[in-house]
């Protein structure tokens, strides 16, 4: 089969569409013939040599995919060859075929085209596990998500609005903010011109839940933006890994700071990918099938042009997800 390989850590040009060995279908796994995968910022970090895959995971990039099951491993029940699915991966999505633990499969939602479904698993599982399962966002609370026009952001806005939370978001252009408004965001902050802490406090009194992908750069300001009893969830390090935290401010607000990852979670058991996928299937998938929550796709490119897709994501030109398809 063909897959996107990395010749050496570096810029987008190190990505090559090449022949690689087929995946082996182990016990408890299925093999999926990939219809599409999606580019995530974790892929950019791995390409640069900063984010190696978990032990035992494929070295090939790609944390989600959609496609058709072509092989069933020993012990797998509930799935059949020919089923249309999408999947949360620990790696391997930038390829024509990928082996997936059965607990990380989701049925392709009715009404969603197969390739488009590749835009769902990583963002839905990330948002649901962090904003709802961990931070416990409730109806009537204020939710702030940074980078509202990103893949994570566009899904977070939709799910928070569906939960009757008041949604605030940041983005870098008016066009992106306008799109966020259409998805359900009410408080819109252009981070190039405005201070999000002041705007969120003035509009809402403070955020009950903040979802942050910036890390160190925004840590102190995110805590400042929290309401009493607020919960900050850090899921990325785009703004660095080290920062000072004023415990006095945190204590005074009776607030909490969480830092989580999805990729390194175990496949099964407590806190696993399978547990999150099952919760998503039960709590989110029905509204995806009704069109209440929808995948946002900016563009589709062949996997042979993965370097171009990485440049798009690195430059933040996109709104929503950038998909990669095996065929030209």
- Tens-digit pLDDT profile for residues 201-235: 999 999 999 999 998 899 999 999 999 999 999 99
Q: What CATH number is associated with residue 173? A: 3.40.50.720
In this prediction, residue 189 carries a pLDDT of 98
β-sheet bridge partners, residue 15: 6
Share of the chain above pLDDT 70, in %: 100
Same domain, yes or no: 158 and 70: no
The backbone region for 216, taken as left when phi is positive above 0, alpha when psi lies in -120 to 50, beta otherwise, is alpha
Range(s) of the domain holding residue 157? 124-259
Domain boundary among 243, 259, 275: 259
Closest of 322, 325, 324 to residue 154, by C-alpha: 322
Domain boundary among 259, 276, 302: 259
Same domain, yes or no: 209 and 224: yes
pTM of the model: 0.96
Arithmetic mean of pLDDT, 2-26: 97
d(CA 75, CA 145): 40
In this prediction, residue 237 carries a pLDDT of 84
Same domain, yes or no: 237 and 193: yes
Q: Please answer whether residues 61 and 313 qualify as being in contact, where contact means their C-beta atoms are separated by less than 8 angstroms.
A: no
β-sheet bridge partners, residue 168: 144, 187
Same domain, yes or no: 101 and 158: no
Arithmetic mean of pLDDT, 29-36: 98
How many other C-beta atoms are found inside a 10 Å radius of the C-beta of residue 153?
28
Same domain, yes or no: 139 and 245: yes
Q: What is the mean pLDDT of the chain?
A: 96
Q: Give how many domains the chain has, as a whole number.
A: 2
Which 3 state secondary structure label does DSSP give 82?
A: coil
Arithmetic mean of pLDDT, 270-277: 97
Q: What CATH number is associated with residue 289? A: 3.90.180.10
Same domain, yes or no: 144 and 230: yes
In this prediction, residue 266 carries a pLDDT of 94
Structure tokens at 169: 């978001």
Instruction: Return all residues near 134 (Cβ < 8 A) that are at least 6 apart.
Output: 231, 233, 258, 260
Same domain, yes or no: 59 and 169: no
């Amino acid at each position: 089969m063909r897959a996107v390989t990395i010749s050496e850590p570096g810029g987008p040009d190190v990505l090559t569409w090449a022949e690689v060995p087929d995946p082996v279908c182990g016990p408890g796994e299925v093999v999926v013939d990939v219809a599409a995968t999606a580019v995530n910022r974790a892929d950019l970090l791995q390409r640069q040599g900063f984010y190696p895959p978990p032990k035992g995971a494929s070295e090939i990039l790609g944390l989600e995919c959609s496609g058709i099951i072509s092989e069933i491993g020993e012990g797998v029940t509930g799935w059949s060859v020919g089923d249309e699915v999408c999947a949360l991966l620990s790696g391997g999505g930038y390829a024509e075929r990928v082996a997936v633990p059965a607990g990380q499969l989701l049925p392709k939602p009715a009404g969603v085209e197969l390739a488009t479904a590749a835009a769902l698993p990583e963002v839905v599982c990330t948002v649901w596990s962090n904003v709802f399962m961990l931070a416990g966002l409730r109806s009537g609370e204020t939710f702030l998500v940074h980078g509202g026009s990103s893949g994570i952001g566009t899904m977070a806005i939709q799910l928070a609005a569906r939960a009757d939370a008041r949604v605030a978001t940041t983005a870098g252009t008016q066009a992106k903010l306008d799109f966020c408004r259409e998805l359900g965001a009410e408080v819109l902050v252009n981070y190039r011109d405005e201070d999000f802490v002041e705007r969120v406090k003035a509009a809402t009194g403070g955020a009950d839940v903040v979802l942050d992908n910036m890390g160190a750069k925004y840590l102190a300001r995110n805590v400042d933006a929290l309401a009493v009893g607020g919960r900050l969830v850090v899921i990325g390090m785009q703004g660095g890994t080290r920062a000072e935290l004023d415990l006095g401010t945190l204590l005074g607000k009776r607030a909490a700071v969480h830092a989580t990852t999805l990729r390194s979670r175990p496949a099964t058991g407590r806190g696993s990918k399978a547990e999150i996928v099952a919760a998503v299937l039960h709590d989110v998938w029905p509204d995806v099938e009704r069109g209440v929550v929808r995948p946002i796709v900016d563009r589709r490119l062949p996997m042979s042009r993965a370097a171009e897709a990485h440049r798009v994501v690195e430059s933040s030109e996109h709104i929503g997800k950038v998909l990669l398809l095996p065929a030209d």
